[in-house]
Amino acid sequence: MALIVQKYGGSSVADAESIKRVAKRVVDTRRAGHDVVVAVSAMGDTTDELLDLANEVAPIPAPRELDMLLSSGERISMALLAMAIHSMGFEARSFTGSQAGMITDSQHGAARIVDVTPVRLREALDEGAIVIVAGFQGFNRDTRDITTLGRGGSDTTAVALAAALSADVCEIYSDVDGIFTSDPRIIPTAQKLDHISSEEMLELAANGAKVLYIRAVEYARRHGVLIHARSTFSSSEGTYVLGEGMKNPREAEEAEMEEPIVAGVATDFSQAKITVAGVPDVPGKAAEIFKIVAKSGANVDMIVQNVSATGRTDISFTVPKADAAGALKSLAAEQNEVGFSNLVHDDQIGKLSVVGAGMRTHSGVSAILFEALSAGGINIEMISTSEIRISVVLRDSDLAEAARTVHTAYGLDGEIEATVHAGTGR
């Protein structure tokens, strides 16, 4: 008998029918003899709708009240799921984040979990109940207020519960079948991975893959939680995300399989490029520029600086599209101070990233990427690398084609087309 934490995303509990389907899955797990703790997201687009409402009554909603409002979405789904389970003849008890002992810092809208004290959950489990917990929310001890963890925070709730309860596995259910070598909506030949290392998963998530949230994967990595990402709509197994030293539960079946060098290809359309042109090529200018950008709150990803022949250089960098306007405004205000000649804003870019732990030990991995892009006649505008990732910035109109070409070049294409349940991955 195991202790299993299951997380169901908004698309899995979108309506009464879906909630009943989830209830059945939970009950099946209980029937198999396991203890079950469930973390749920709000139904469908509830969180977005609540946010819209808030913005209709106030231009800048008070953060405390916004968290009171948004946390109500998960209270609806948790209670309905508990009722559905009751009606199947099983004991279930729902708990808010604060009842579940989800203790966070005080930052409304982006709270971090600092402690989990699941006393009431333990009691309920000991009494034989199925436990349902509202995802995405917590409680701060100093302010005694309800907090939320940031969009997509229910993944983190589930992983934190799994860590605190020493669960055997944290199953994250969504409307996709698992982690794929690339986004199957862009690359139909993308294959579902049997397993992936958490460090590869973090790089993919940070570079555009949307199946799992970065903070949840980080939390799992730090606390040694085994994640199993799988689909609510099928009973087939999904993808295991393995932390350091963790064994693949399916190892026995496929012993001796050689690990591929590249785990996946991620695409990201969410960034914009800013070029600061004609920057005096003297020490301290990059520092000035990036201090200004940081103060505007923009999160810089890639940076390139041209060689200067004339004593002036161009510095280009990428930021999330939503941050670009603020960064441009702040830079423009300091143009004379910094002494650059002009600013260029380009939001027609796309980022392609190739991720694989095998890059550490294999040479020639980047050559394959560059050859594939060159054969496809695709121009590269920026390049950056980490130990296990190579990213390039391209025209956004080239990104899908580039991803398909590169996916093929690394031998990642599967024989059968991936099934996509028209899902969002949430």
| Residue ranges binding ligand ASP (CB under 6 A) | 9-10, 41-42, 47, 73, 135-136, 151-154
Question: CB under 5 to 8 A by kind: which of ligand ASP, Mg ion, none does 264 bind?
Answer: none
Question: CB under 5 to 8 A by kind: which of Mg ion, ligand ASP, none does 238 bind?
Answer: none
The alpha carbon of residue 217 and the mean position of all alpha carbons in its chain are separated, in whole angstroms, by 8
Question: CB under 5 to 8 A by kind: which of ligand ASP, Mg ion, none does 154 bind?
Answer: ligand ASP
Question: CB under 5 to 8 A by kind: which of ligand ASP, Mg ion, none does 243 bind?
Answer: none
Classify 86 as helix, strand or coil.
helix
40 or 349: whose CB is closer to ligand ASP?
40
Smallest gap from Cβ 112 to ligand ASP, in A, equals: 15
Q: Which residues of 394-411 are buried (b: 16+ CB within 10 A; e: fewer)?
A: bebebbbebbbbbbebbe
- Spatial distance between the Cα atoms of 68 and 281, rounded to a whole number of angstroms: 51
Smallest gap from Cβ 189 to Mg ion, in A, equals: 29
| Residue 379 in tokens | 């121009």
> CB burial class (10 A; 0-12, 13-18, 19+) of residue 183?
buried
**Nearest in space to 216 (alpha carbons), one of 266, 187, 179, 249:** 179
Smallest gap from Cβ 71 to ligand ASP, in A, equals: 9
> CB burial class (10 A; 0-12, 13-18, 19+) of residue 105?
middle
99 or 384: whose CB is closer to ligand ASP?
99
Smallest gap from Cβ 11 to Mg ion, in A, equals: 8
Q: Helices marked H in 87-180 — which ranges?
A: 119-126, 154-164
159 or 373: whose CB is closer to Mg ion?
159
Q: Do the Cβ atoms of 355 and 388 come closer than 8 Å?
A: yes
Question: CB under 5 to 8 A by kind: which of Mg ion, ligand ASP, none does 73 bind?
Answer: ligand ASP
Question: CB under 5 to 8 A by kind: which of ligand ASP, Mg ion, none does 44 bind?
Answer: none
- Spatial distance between the Cα atoms of 91 and 79, rounded to a whole number of angstroms: 13
Question: CB under 5 to 8 A by kind: which of ligand ASP, Mg ion, none does 12 bind?
Answer: none
Question: CB under 5 to 8 A by kind: which of Mg ion, ligand ASP, none does 178 bind?
Answer: none
- Spatial distance between the Cα atoms of 369 and 406, rounded to a whole number of angstroms: 6
230 or 273: whose CB is closer to Mg ion?
230
- Spatial distance between the Cα atoms of 412 and 182, rounded to a whole number of angstroms: 9
Edge to edge, what strands does the sheet with 239-242 contain? 92-95, 130-134, 35-40, 3-8, 169-174, 227-231, 239-242, 195-197
Q: Do the Cβ atoms of 169 and 2 come closer than 8 Å?
A: yes
Smallest gap from Cβ 135 to Mg ion, in A, equals: 9
Nearest residue to Mg ion on Cβ basis: 10
133 or 409: whose CB is closer to ligand ASP?
133
- Based on DSSP, count helices (H) and strands (E) in the chain, helices before strands: 12, 20
Smallest gap from Cβ 50 to ligand ASP, in A, equals: 9
Smallest gap from Cβ 41 to Mg ion, in A, equals: 4
Question: CB under 5 to 8 A by kind: which of ligand ASP, Mg ion, none does 227 bind?
Answer: none
| 5 beta partners | 37, 170
42 or 187: whose CB is closer to ligand ASP?
42
50 or 343: whose CB is closer to Mg ion?
50
70 or 272: whose CB is closer to Mg ion?
70
14 or 279: whose CB is closer to Mg ion?
14
Q: Which residues are at the interface with Mg ion (CB under 5 A)? A: 10, 41, 47
Question: CB under 5 to 8 A by kind: which of ligand ASP, Mg ion, none does 233 bind?
Answer: none
Smallest gap from Cβ 233 to Mg ion, in A, equals: 17
Smallest gap from Cβ 8 to ligand ASP, in A, equals: 10
Smallest gap from Cβ 424 to Mg ion, in A, equals: 9
41 or 296: whose CB is closer to ligand ASP?
41
Q: Do the Cβ atoms of 338 and 289 come closer than 8 Å?
A: yes
> CB burial class (10 A; 0-12, 13-18, 19+) of residue 303?
middle
